[in-house]
């Protein structure tokens, strides 16, 4: 049942996703015979038309971590609200120690953002936005804060219609 829903969701969204390796971390554990290394990978997936997802995975090899992260990202795809080439309104969101501020920008100004938020915004298709990372520089928390902000965006017309009690 769950696999059917995943397939339907993939068919709805399409399979033309761009994949980006955002961050790879090497972790070492000291054992009796020496050091044992493991890797974690943060992967972004997006189609440039409002669909974007992220995945985080750990493995003993870099290639396995990337593959697992990519699979996790394809399962975690979200649709975000956009207004033309920008976002509908300004928003400030906190996730753990990381804080992200997103503001709409006029057409032609481009994406003015730090590296992690910039990657998320590029892959989801937002062309004009101003973003600021405040607080922590942890890439995973920055990505999660950016996603939390993007998911809290609301369409102006729909919100006004709901307040008035109209059907959209």
- 42 forms beta bridges with 23, 56
Question: In the prediction, which pLDDT does 7 show?
Answer: 53
Listed residue (118, 144, 150) closest to 131, CA to CA: 118
Cα separations (Å) of 1 from 4, 7, 8, 76, 115? 5, 10, 11, 17, 38
**For residues 44 and 120, is the Cβ–Cβ distance under 8 A?**
yes
Predicted TM-score (pTM) above 0.75: yes
- Please state, in angstroms and rounded to a whole number, the distance separating the CA atoms of residues 88 and 139: 25
pLDDT digits over 35-74, tens only? 999 999 999 999 989 999 999 999 999 999 999 999 999 9
The angle subtended at Cα 90 by Cα 42 and Cα 131, nearest 5°, is 45
Which tokens sit at 74?
């394809």
What span, in angstroms and rounded, lies between the C-alpha atoms of 59 and 5? 27
pLDDT tens figures, 133-142: 999 989 999 9
Domains of the chain from N-terminus onward: 2-78 (3.30.160.20), 81-158 (3.30.230.10)
Instruction: Report which of residues 5 and 94 the model is more confident about.
Output: 94
């Amino acid at each position: 049942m769950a696999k059917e829903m995943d397939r339907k969701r993939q068919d709805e969204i399409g399979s033309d996703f761009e994949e980006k390796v955002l961050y790879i971390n090497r972790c070492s554990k000291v054992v009796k015979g020496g050091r044992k290394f493991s890797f974690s990978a943060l992967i972004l997936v997006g189609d440039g038309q409002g669909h974007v997802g992220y995945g985080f995975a750990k493995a003993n090899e870099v290639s396995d971590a990337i593959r697992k992260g990519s699979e996790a990202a394809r399962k975690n795809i979200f649709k975000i609200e956009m207004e033309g080439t920008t976002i509908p309104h300004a928003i400030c969101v906190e996730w753990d120690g990381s804080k992200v501020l997103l503001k709409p920008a006029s057409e032609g100004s481009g994406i003015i953002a730090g590296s992690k938020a910039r990657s998320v915004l590029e892959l989801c298709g937002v062309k004009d936005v101003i973003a600021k990372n405040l607080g922590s520089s942890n890439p995973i928390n920055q990505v999660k804060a950016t996603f939390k902000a993007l998911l809290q965006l609301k369409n102006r017309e729909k919100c006004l219609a709901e307040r008035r009690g109209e059907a959209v």
